[in-house]
Amino acid sequence: MRCLLALLPLLVSLPLQAVDLVVVEKAQRTMTLYQDGQEVKRFHIAMGDSPSGHKLQEGDQRTPQGRYILDYKKQDSAYYRSIHISYPNAADRLRAEALGVSPGGQIMIHGENPNSALSPEEQQAYNWTNGCIAVTNKEMDQLWQLIRPGTPIEIWP
């Protein structure tokens, strides 16, 4: 028993395994990480200034909806660190083309606005991005460890 207790600090400090699914629920302003169907971690998020509805065009301040891939990480982001969402997909491009607009792009999960006078918690109290998904820098560090390029993300209304 003492041997198990002695190992407990080591087990607690082991990093979590990379997740295999990220789910964003825009109405609840949450992002949940899953591994093998089990919830691993949940975050409160900030999004674009106009979060309702699917992103239709560049500059509409909306966060896209649908299934995408978290396809690469950017260490030197203007917003601390970022993980790119594969928006626009083929359907998004076709929709934008039919509307005669640009679908936009560069939608990311990222950290805090470095130019804000607000605390990280105050920043998260409202939607302030141009369509991205924002978390605190501390939370971004956790995501950085848990998300690998190629992880699917589902973004729901």
Q: Is 59's pLDDT higher than 80? A: yes
pLDDT, position 50: 85
Q: Is 120's pLDDT higher than 80? A: yes
pLDDT, position 3: 52
Which residue in this structure is represented by tokens 């909806």? 65
Closest CA to 52 of 62, 60, 44, 42: 62
Each residue's pLDDT tens digit, 70-102? 999 999 999 999 999 999 999 999 999 999 999
Q: Please give the Cα distance from 30 to 42 (Å, whole number).
A: 7
Each residue's pLDDT tens digit, 9-22? 554 544 568 999 99
How far is residue 91 CA from its own chain's centroid? Answer: 21
**Dihedral sign, Cα of residue 44, residue 142, residue 140, residue 109:** negative
pLDDT, position 155: 97
Average pLDDT, the chain: 90
**Dihedral sign, Cα of residue 86, residue 125, residue 157, residue 19:** positive
pLDDT, position 13: 46
What number is the average pLDDT over the span 44-69?
92
Answer yes or no: are the C-beta atoms of 127 and 103 closer than 8 Å. Answer: no
